[in-house]
Amino acid sequence: MEQKAVSNYGATRRDFLAGWAVLTMAAALGATLQVAAQPQPTSAGLADPKLIEDLVAANRILVNQGVLDTLGHVSARHNRDPNRYLLARSRAPEMVSADDIIEYDLDSNPVDARGRPMNLERFIHGAVYKARPDVKAIVHNHSPSLIPFGVTGIPLRPIYHSAAFIGEGIPVFEIREAGGMTDMLVRDPALGGALARTLGNKPALLMRGHGAVVVGPSVPSVVRRSIQLEVNAKLQTQAMTLGGNITYLDPEEVRKIMAREDVALERSWELWKRKVMPK
Ligand SMILES: [Zn+2]
């Protein structure tokens, strides 16, 4: 915040003295605002080690499965306090370990970042946890096959049973409606809140020209949904390329599948996790 204020003012100063005065004031004000705007929340206590392990695994699995690259992130709601969530520091997901996990309040203030760099887009997570008590885990990704569906107006639709949740609706978040011309990052609580409102009660949303946010009732569930979104987007694109009438899942089929959505989840999770975690 302080650095940004300095460079903004530095670019527009008309002479050295005036600039210097403004810089000094901006720095002092910036420091004050930073302290005032970011109270340090108290910790909910040690999170369940199994949850931390799953969160670390989720980061690596999503790279292994082609959903995340060097960017993107996964979070989990804290098992001890619904008003806290856990998210790795800003780091390539494949490199994430338990030491990287930072606890946040729902305004995305860190409990104790210990100097670790934080993800700029953590506000996605805080805002969605605040709006959706049912959500226990969130993925933000730039899953490549989803991008065309966020920019063409062609809706993502459920083309096969494993991605039935898409039938509940996948809205598109247009950041221009919330923030005008931005650098496309959800980098403050206002943009996070706008994104959460667009998500509504849906399982995922696409971010125009950027990526996606996927939510779910557990870490394994949100990982599975993220993988299936990418696969469905590829399959739908292939089907559309072939031409002809595409028969998507019927809403009644979607309802019946959703009633047993996570039935075989453990079977997938066990193998995905085994591939990425040390034995
Ligand atoms: Zn992003």
Task: Return the bridge partners of 211, or none.
Answer: 207
What confidence score (pLDDT) does residue 261 get? 87
pLDDT tens digits, residue range 85-116?
Answer: 999 999 999 999 999 999 999 999 999 999 99
Per-residue pLDDT, 161: 95
* DSSP H or E segment with residue 85: strand 84-88
List the catalytic residue out of 103, 121, 230, 261: 121
Residue 20 is predicted with a pLDDT of 44
φ and ψ of 143, to 5 deg: -50, 115
The predicted model scores a pTM of: 0.86
Q: How many whole angstroms from 92 Cα to the centroid of ligand 1?
A: 13
Per the rule left: phi > 0, alpha: psi between -120 and 50, beta: everything else, 160 is beta
- pLDDT of 38 reads 64
Tell me how far apart the alpha carbons of residues 189 and 183 are, in angstroms, rounded to a whole number. 15
255 contact partners, CB below 8 Å, separation of at least 6: none
Angle at 128 between CA 122 and CA 129, to 5 degrees: 95
CA of 209 relative to ligand 1 center, distance in Å: 10
| Confidence band of 278 (pLDDT split at 50, 70, 90) | confident
Distance CA 135, CA 122 (A): 16
Ligand 1 midpoint to CA 232 (Å) = 20
CA of 104 to the centre of ligand 1 (A): 18
Tell me how far the alpha carbon of residue 129 lies from the centroid of ligand 1, in angstroms: 17
Instruction: Supply the mean pLDDT for the chain.
Output: 89
Mean pLDDT, range 168-189, rounded to an integer: 97
| C-alpha 243 – ligand 1 centre gap (Å) | 32
β pairing state of 137-141 and 101-105 = unpaired
Q: What is the pLDDT of residues 148-161, one digit of tens each?
A: 999 999 999 999 99
pLDDT at 226 over 90: yes
To the nearest 10 degrees (0 to 180), the angle between helices 49-64 and 219-242 is 20
Token representation of residue 229: 């979104």
Distance from C-alpha of 150 to C-alpha of 136, rounded to nearest angstrom: 25
The predicted structure's pLDDT at residue 41 = 93
Does residue 272 have a pLDDT over 50? yes
> In Å, how far are 42, 124, 169, 227, 255 from 236, measured between CA atoms?
46, 27, 15, 14, 20
Residue type, 77: R
Model confidence at 15, pLDDT cuts 50, 70, 90, reads: very low
pLDDT at position 27 is: 47
Residue 103 designated active-site: no
Q: Quick one: pLDDT band at residue 40, thresholds 50, 70, 90?
A: confident
Q: Return the minimum-mean-pLDDT range out of 33-47, 85-99, 222-236, 243-257.
A: 33-47
Q: Does residue 22 surpass a pLDDT of 70?
A: no
Sheet containing 137-141: order of strands: 101-105, 84-88, 73-77, 137-141, 211-216, 204-207, 172-173
Higher pLDDT, 40 or 265: 265
